[in-house]
């Protein structure tokens, strides 16, 4: 294993320390080039560690995902989203008293200021719920200006809790606004997930009672989506936080990044693909088209996982449980046939293409009657646990500096301004 890296530069040997499998990019500056000190060029940060983190561990080759060292399979089997949020934020599982206090603290903060609610009401009814969510979360800083004092531990804590607590409320308001339905306020009598489902789906009944199996399925989906180390949205949160921003302002960057179809939008694309395939009989022809480069098998492949995404395996089981309540989504058979053929096909096997988290989640959301635009919102709500944990870790990390990458300048130089009449 390399302990250091020797680089011969213009006849001189330069030795760079290798720590944690990385070199310090700033150490390269001691090597001169024609264009100044040596730097790295890494569009998309494919091979650059931007922080040290103790929150989430992924081994993509082995298909391992752990939060604070706990395997995702054990958390999905035994834990709840709120307990996982506590774990991500604090590094340890809570004892019974800590969990009770945590749940009570989060549930206490679920209401939103009426004027924040009005920001959603004033949007066009057919605007994307992610756009409404982004605007409403951006407004939260205006209601809690104390959040700017990120050096104060009490301010940090209360504002992270507020954000975690209010995301489901704002998400549900954004959904109901698009349907023209009244808003349902949080209820003291309901736990975190039950309350979210009530805020989404309650109609005229006095008490909304979600099926326990659906509550558990959504809880598991939330656990699986809670964090995923330095993905695009988390990196955006950390970059905005590095300028000294509060959790609300930083989370807006995360929501914005997640909105992108390459990030949070793939589950919607899976559903579209299944609709286009139409029936199980058409699967072989579709697979042949994928191998000819005519289409991608959406919900397959991952930048990090070169093995079965451990979240996909758990979601597949959750989907079966949800369908026991909602009836089977007719597209499930198409998805299963795609998976069966792909996992046995040399094209997919040799490229290590396996189902990812998005392959089955869209089917669940559709079975719950969500329109496709809501799928990304259902990703943003639980990812808030990861965003606030990563926000806090960045704020407290003495090594973190304001994010400010270099560029390779490829434009013109030293031109003279000419008056408009002479151009
Ligand atoms: N269907 C068919 N071929 C594929 C697919 C796919 N879904 N994914 C990758 N390939 C092929 C690709 O054509 C290439 O083949 P070749 O070597 O012959 O050119 C090879 O596999 C490597 O692909 P790549 O594009 O270099 O891989 P990447 O790591 O840059 O891309 C990915 C990762 C997720 C963008 C890609 O696998 C993909 O587009 N998948 C479908 C979209 C999708 O499901 N996205 C959700 C990702 S999980 C959500 C999250 O965690 O944020």
| Phi and psi, residue 57, nearest 5° | -115, 130
Atom of ligand 1 nearest to the CA of 293: 13
> Closest Cα to atom 9, ligand 1: which residue?
301
Average pLDDT score over the chain:
94
Q: 300 C-alpha vs ligand 1 centroid, how far in Å?
A: 7
Catalytic machinery residues: 263, 302, 358
Out of 45, 301, 338, mutate this one to test ligand 1's pocket (max ligand atoms within 8 Å of CB): namely 301
- Are the C-beta atoms of residues 337 and 383 closer than 8 Å to each other? no
H/E run at residue 9: strand 4-9
Interatomic CA distance for residues 405 and 370, integer angstroms: 39
Sign of CA dihedral 206, 210, 215, 218: negative
Residues shown for the chain: 423
Q: With pLDDT > 90 as the criterion, what percentage of the chain qualifies?
A: 83
Beta bridge partners of 16: 5
Residue 71 three-state SS:
strand
Average pLDDT over residues 231-248: 98
Residue listed under structure tokens 């834990």: 79
Residue 67 corresponds to which tokens in the numbers above?
């939060």
Residue 241: which of 388, 29, 410, 118 has the closest Cα? 388
pLDDT-derived band at 10 (thresholds 50, 70, 90) equals: confident
| Phi and psi, residue 70, nearest 5° | -90, 125
∠ CA(109), CA(114), CA(115), 5° rounding?
120
- CB-based contacts of 106, cutoff 8 Å, min separation 6: 82, 85, 161, 164, 165, 192
> Closest Cα to atom 28, ligand 1: which residue?
303
Residue 302, ligand 1, Cβ within 6 A: yes
Q: What is the CA radius of gyration of the chain?
A: 24
Residue 310, ligand 1, Cβ within 6 A: no
pLDDT-derived band at 250 (thresholds 50, 70, 90) equals: very high
Residue 272, ligand 1, Cβ within 6 A: no
Q: Give the HSE-up count for residue 11: Cα atoms under 13 Å, Cβ half-sphere.
A: 0
Average pLDDT over residues 72-82: 98
Residue 298, ligand 1, Cβ within 6 A: yes
């Amino acid at each position: 294993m390399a302990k250091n890296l020797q680089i011969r530069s213009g006849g001189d040997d330069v030795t760079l320390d290798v720590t944690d499998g990385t070199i310090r990019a700033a150490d390269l500056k001691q090597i001169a080039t024609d264009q100044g000190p040596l730097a790295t060029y890494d569009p998309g940060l494919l091979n650059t560690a931007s922080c040290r983190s103790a929150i989430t561990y992924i081994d993509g080759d082995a298909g391992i995902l752990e939060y604070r060292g706990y395997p995702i399979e054990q958390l999905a089997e035994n834990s709840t989203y709120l307990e996982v949020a506590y774990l991500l934020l604090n590094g340890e599982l809570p004892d019974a008293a800590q969990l009770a206090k945590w749940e009570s603290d989060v549930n206490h903060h679920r209401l939103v200021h009426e004027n924040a609610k009005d920001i959603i009401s004033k949007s066009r009814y057919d605007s994307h719920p992610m756009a409404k969510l982004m605007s409403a979360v951006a407004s939260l800083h205006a209601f809690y200006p104390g959040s700017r004092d990120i050096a104060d531990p009490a301010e940090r804590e209360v504002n992270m809790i507020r954000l975690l607590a209010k995301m489901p409320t704002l998400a549900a308001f954004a959904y109901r606004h698009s349907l023209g339905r009244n808003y349902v306020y949080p209820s003291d009598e309901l736990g975190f997930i039950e309350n979210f489902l009530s805020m989404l789906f309650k109609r005229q009944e006095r008490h909304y009672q979600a099926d326990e199996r659906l509550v558990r399925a959504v809880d598991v989906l939330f656990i699986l989506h809670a964090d995923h180390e330095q993905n695009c949205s988390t990196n955006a949160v950390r970059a905005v936080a590095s300028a000294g921003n509060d959790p609300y302002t930083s989370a807006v960057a995360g929501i914005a990044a997640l909105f992108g179809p390459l990030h949070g939008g793939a589950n919607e694309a899976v559903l579209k693909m299944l609709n286009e395939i139409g029936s199980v009989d058409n699967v072989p022809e579709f697979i042949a088209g994928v191998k000819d480069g005519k289409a991608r098998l959406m919900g397959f492949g991952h930048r990090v996982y070169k093995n079965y995404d451990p979240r996909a395996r758990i979601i597949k089981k959750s989907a079966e449980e949800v369908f026991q309540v909602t009836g089977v989504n007719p597209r499930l058979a198409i998805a299963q046939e795609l998976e069966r053929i792909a996992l046995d096909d040399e094209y997919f096997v040799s490229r290590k293409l396996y189902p990812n988290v998005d392959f089955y989640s869209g089917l669940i959301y559709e079975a719950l009657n969500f329109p496709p635009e809501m799928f990304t919102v259902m990703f943003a709500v639980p990812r808030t646990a990861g965003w606030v944990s990563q926000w806090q870790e960045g704020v407290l990390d003495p090594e973190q500096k304001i994010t400010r990458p270099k560029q390779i300048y490829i434009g013109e130089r030293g031109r003279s301004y000419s008056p408009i009449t002479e151009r």
